[in-house]
C-alpha cells in the first residue's frame, strides 16, 4: 500500500513540476498609468475618500497636477515601457473658465501625459476653443469615433495611435459616450457610430498592423466598459473614464481587463501588463495598482510654481454672464411654490436631455438669498448648486406619478417639495397628506389633482402604462433622498448624465451670455 501511495505522490509532483515548467513566463511588462475626470483640479483639493474600501471615508488633501507629474516621472524611470494617459473631462471649473483650457492642457503636457482622449466636457466651450487649447501640447490626441472634419479639430487628433515600447507594439484607440449629442452642445463634431461598431473596427485595424497589445481609452463609464468587453473581443485593456469611479478591484470580462481612472486626480491608476518572450499577453497576470496622490508625494516644483502663478491671476469671482431679473433663492420660494429659477433650470434640463418630465427637490436649489440683476458669477452658481448632484434620466410608468406628487405635497415647506418641468398639477393643502414609512404607504394622499403632462406639444392626461422619461438628481434617484423610493424601485434604464445644475447653467451662459428666469406659469397651483 505504501509503495502505491509513494508512486502516486511522485506522479503528482511530476505533473505539477511539468505544468510549472511549461507555464508561460513574463519577459516584458508594459505599464499603462493615468487618470480620468480631473475636472480642472490643478491644485490639491480636500476630498472625502475611502482609500481602503472599508466604508470609512477620510478627509484629506488629494491630487494636484504637480504631484501627478512626480508620480509619472518616477513610473517612467522605473520602467521606460510606461504610457501615461487621460480619458477626458479635464477642462472644467475655474482654470477652464479663466484660461479656456490652455492652462490645464499646458500643465498636463508638462506633467508628462503621453496620450489624451476627449470627454464630453472638453467641448463645453466649443471645438474651436478646444483646438486652441491643444496648441503647443506634447501629448498625442486620439478621437476614433468622432467626426471632426467640419471643426477646428481637423488634423489635431488621430483615429488611433501605435507606440513602440522597446519592440513591443501597443495600439490605442478611443471611445466617447454615446450620449455625447445629448450632454454636449457641440454641433461641429459628431459621433461616427456606436461604441461597439467603432471598437470592432479599431481592433481589426490595429490587428492588421501586427500590434502586440490593444488598449481602449474610453469615456463611456464603467458599466458601459463592461458591456463593451462582452460585445468586442481582442481588447486587452479598457482604461475608462466618465463614471468618476475607482473600482475596488480590476474588472475582467473574458480576456479583457477593465479599470477606471476615477476623478479629480485623487489616485493614479497603474496597470502592469506582462508579456512573454514571444510577446503574448499574460491576461491572467495583469495587475492594477492605485497610487493615492497625497501630500506624501513631493510636488514637482516647477509645475507647482506655474500653478500658483495661474491661481494668483484668478479674479475674485469669474463673471460667466448676466441676468436681467433677480434670482430669488429663499427657501420659502423653492419649498412652497413655483420657483422661477428652479423652473428655468429644470426647463433647460428637459430641453437638453430631451426628457418628458423633470422633478427636482426644492432642497437641491440653494443660496437662500436674492441675487440682484447683473453679473452671474461662478461663485453664485456654486452657491445655488451647493451639492453638485448629477442629473439622472430614467423611465417610469405614469401610474407612479400621482404618489410621487402626493409625497411632494406632503413635504410642503420642506426640502422634499418638488420643482417640476413638463408636468402641472394642483395641490390642495387642507386635504389629507400622504403618510408613509420607508416604502410603505400607510395612508394615501388626497392633496393632488388636475395632473397633466406636456407631450407632443400639448397638455394631456397621464397615461398610467406609458413609460415617461424622467430626469431627477442622484440624491433622489440613487439614494431615495427625501423619501422618494419610486425612482430606484420602479424606474428602468437609469442613466447618469454626469451633468449638474452648475455645468448646465455655465454652458448655457458661455453660449448665450444672458440667463434670466421667467415668471411663474401655473405649473404648480397651491390652494390653502
Cell of 312: 494668483
User: What's the N-to-C CA distance of the chain in angstroms?
Assistant: 94
DSSP string, 259-272: EE--STTSEEEEEE
Q: What pLDDT sits at residue 11?
A: 46
Q: What pLDDT sits at residue 83?
A: 98
Q: What pLDDT sits at residue 383?
A: 95
Domains and CATH numbers, the chain: 25-312 (3.60.21.10), 319-527 (3.90.780.10)
The pair phi, psi for residue 128, each rounded to 5°, is -70, -45
The pair phi, psi for residue 406, each rounded to 5°, is -65, -40
Q: How far is CA 422 from CA 155, 451, 456, 513, 524, in A?
A: 42, 11, 11, 25, 11
Q: What pLDDT sits at residue 26?
A: 87
Is beta strand 58-62 parallel, antiparallel or unpaired with respect to 524-527? Answer: unpaired
Distance CA 66, CA 323 (A): 38
Distance CA 420, CA 381 (A): 20
Place of cell 450632454: 183
Cell of 460: 394631456
Distance CA 145, CA 177 (A): 10
Q: What pLDDT sits at residue 22?
A: 60
Phi-psi region of 469 (alpha: psi -120 to 50; beta: other; left: phi over 0): beta
Cell of 344: 428655468
The DSSP code for 432 is P
The three-point CA angle 325-329-330 to 5° equals 130
pLDDT by 10s per residue, the chain, length 528: 434 444 444 444 444 444 445 678 889 999 999 999 999 999 998 887 777 767 777 888 899 999 999 999 999 999 999 999 999 999 998 999 999 999 999 999 999 999 999 999 999 999 999 999 999 999 999 999 999 999 999 999 999 999 999 899 999 999 999 999 988 889 999 999 999 999 999 999 999 999 999 999 999 999 999 999 999 999 999 999 998 888 989 999 999 999 999 999 999 999 999 999 999 999 999 999 999 999 999 999 999 999 999 999 999 889 999 999 999 999 999 999 999 999 999 999 999 999 999 999 999 999 999 999 999 999 999 999 998 899 999 999 999 999 999 999 999 999 999 999 999 999 999 999 999 999 999 999 999 999 999 999 999 999 999 999 999 999 999 999 999 999 999 999 999 998 999 999 999 999 999 999 999 999 999 999
Place of cell 469669474: 318
Cell of 445: 394622499
Distance CA 238, CA 224 (A): 11
* Helix/strand/coil for 348: helix
Please enumerate in sequence order all residues whose Cβ is within 8 A of that of 130, keeping only pairs 6 or more positions apart, or say none: 91, 101, 118, 122, 123, 152, 153
User: Per residue in 392-430, pLDDT tens?
Assistant: 999 999 999 999 999 999 999 999 999 999 999 999 999
From the CB of residue 298, how many other CB atoms can be counted at a distance below 10 Å? 10
Distance CA 470, CA 422 (A): 10
Please enumerate in sequence order all residues whose Cβ is within 8 A of that of 341, keeping only pairs 6 or more positions apart, or say none: 327, 328, 329, 334, 365, 384, 517
Distance CA 402, CA 342 (A): 21
Closest CA to 307 of 317, 315, 298, 299: 299
pTM for the whole structure: 0.85
Distance CA 17, CA 328 (A): 77
Q: Cα dihedral angle (95, 270, 174, 27), rounded to 10 degrees?
A: 150
Helices then strands (H, E): number in the chain? 16, 31
Q: What pLDDT sits at residue 87?
A: 98
Q: How far is CA 446 from CA 31, 60, 219, 407, 431, in A?
A: 62, 48, 46, 10, 6
From the CB of residue 159, how many other CB atoms can be counted at a distance below 10 Å? 16
Query: 489 and 439 in contact (C-beta within 8 Å)?
Result: yes
Each as own residue / partner, the long-range contacts of residues 312-316 (CB below 8 Å, 24 or more positions apart, any chain) are 313/98, 314/94, 314/98, 315/98
Q: What pLDDT sits at residue 59?
A: 83
Place of cell 400607510: 442
Q: How far is CA 89 from CA 37, 54, 196, 237, 274, in A?
A: 5, 28, 21, 20, 29
Amino acid at each position: 500500500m505504501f509503495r502505491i501511495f509513494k508512486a502516486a505522490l511522485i506522479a503528482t509532483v511530476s505533473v505539477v513540476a511539468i505544468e510549472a515548467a511549461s507555464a508561460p513566463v513574463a519577459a516584458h511588462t508594459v505599464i499603462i498609468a493615468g487618470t480620468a475626470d480631473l475636472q480642472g483640479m490643478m491644485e490639491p483639493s480636500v476630498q472625502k475618500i475611502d482609500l481602503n474600501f472599508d466604508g470609512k471615508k477620510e478627509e484629506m488633501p488629494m491630487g494636484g497636477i504637480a504631484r501627478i507629474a512626480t508620480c509619472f516621472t518616477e513610473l517612467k524611470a522605473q520602467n521606460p515601457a510606461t504610457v501615461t494617459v487621460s480619458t477626458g473631462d479635464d477642462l472644467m471649473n475655474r482654470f477652464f473658465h479663466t484660461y479656456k483650457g490652455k492652462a490645464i492642457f499646458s500643465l498636463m503636457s508638462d506633467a508628462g501625459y503621453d496620450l489624451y482622449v476627449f470627454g464630453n466636457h472638453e467641448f463645453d466651450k466649443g471645438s474651436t476653443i478646444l483646438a486652441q487649447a491643444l496648441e503647443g501640447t506634447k501629448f498625442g490626441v486620439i478621437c476614433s469615433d468622432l467626426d471632426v472634419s467640419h471643426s477646428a479639430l481637423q488634423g489635431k487628433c488621430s483615429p488611433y495611435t501605435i507606440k513602440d515600447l522597446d519592440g513591443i507594439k501597443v495600439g490605442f484607440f478611443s471611445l466617447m459616450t454615446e450620449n455625447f449629442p445629448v450632454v454636449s452642445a457641440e454641433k461641429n463634431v459628431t459621433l461616427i457610430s456606436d461604441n461597439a461598431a467603432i471598437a470592432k473596427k479599431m481592433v481589426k485595424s490595429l490587428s492588421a498592423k501586427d500590434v502586440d497589445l490593444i488598449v481602449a481609452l474610453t469615456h463611456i463609464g464603467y458599466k458601459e466598459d463592461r458591456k463593451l468587453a462582452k460585445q468586442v473581443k481582442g481588447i486587452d485593456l479598457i482604461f475608462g473614464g466618465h463614471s468618476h469611479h475607482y473600482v475596488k478591484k480590476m474588472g475582467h470580462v473574458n480576456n479583457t481587463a477593465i479599470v477606471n481612472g476615477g476623478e479629480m486626480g485623487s489616485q493614479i491608476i497603474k496597470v502592469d501588463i506582462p508579456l512573454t518572450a514571444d510577446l503574448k499577453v499574460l491576461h491572467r497576470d495583469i495587475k492594477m495598482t492605485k497610487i493615492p496622490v497625497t501630500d506624501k508625494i513631493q510636488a514637482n516644483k516647477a509645475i507647482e510654481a506655474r500653478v500658483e502663478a495661474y491661481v494668483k491671476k484668478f479674479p475674485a469671482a469669474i463673471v460667466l454672464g448676466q441676468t436681467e431679473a433677480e434670482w430669488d433663492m429663499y427657501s420659502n420660494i423653492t419649498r412652497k411654490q413655483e420657483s422661477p429659477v428652479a423652473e428655468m433650470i429644470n426647463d433647460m434640463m428637459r430641453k437638453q436631455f430631451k426628457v418628458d418630465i423633470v422633478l427636482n427637490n426644492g432642497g437641491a436649489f440653494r443660496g437662500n438669498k436674492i441675487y440682484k440683476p447683473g453679473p452671474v458669477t461662478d461663485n453664485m452658481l456654486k452657491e445655488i448648486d451647493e451639492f453638485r448632484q448629477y442629473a439622472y434620466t430614467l423611465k417610469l410608468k405614469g401610474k407612479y406619478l400621482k404618489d410621487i406628487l402626493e409625497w411632494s405635497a406632503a413635504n410642503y415647506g420642506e426640502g422634499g417639495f418638488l420643482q417640476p418641468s413638463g408636468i402641472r398639477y394642483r395641490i390642495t393643502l387642507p386635504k389629507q397628506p400622504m403618510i408613509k414609512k420607508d416604502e410603505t404607504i400607510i395612508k394615501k394622499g388626497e392633496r393632488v389633482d388636475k395632473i397633466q403632462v406636456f407631450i407632443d406639444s400639448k397638455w394631456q392626461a397621464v397615461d398610467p402604462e406609458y413609460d415617461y422619461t424622467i430626469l431627477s438628481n442622484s440624491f433622489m434617484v440613487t439614494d431615495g433622498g427625501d423619501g422618494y423610493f419610486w425612482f430606484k424601485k420602479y424606474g428602468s434604464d437609469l442613466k447618469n448624465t454626469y451633468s449638474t445644475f452648475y455645468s448646465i447653467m455655465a454652458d448655457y451662459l458661455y453660449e448665450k451670455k444672458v440667463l434670466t428666469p421667467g415668471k411663474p406659469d401655473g405649473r404648480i397651483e397651491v390652494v390653502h
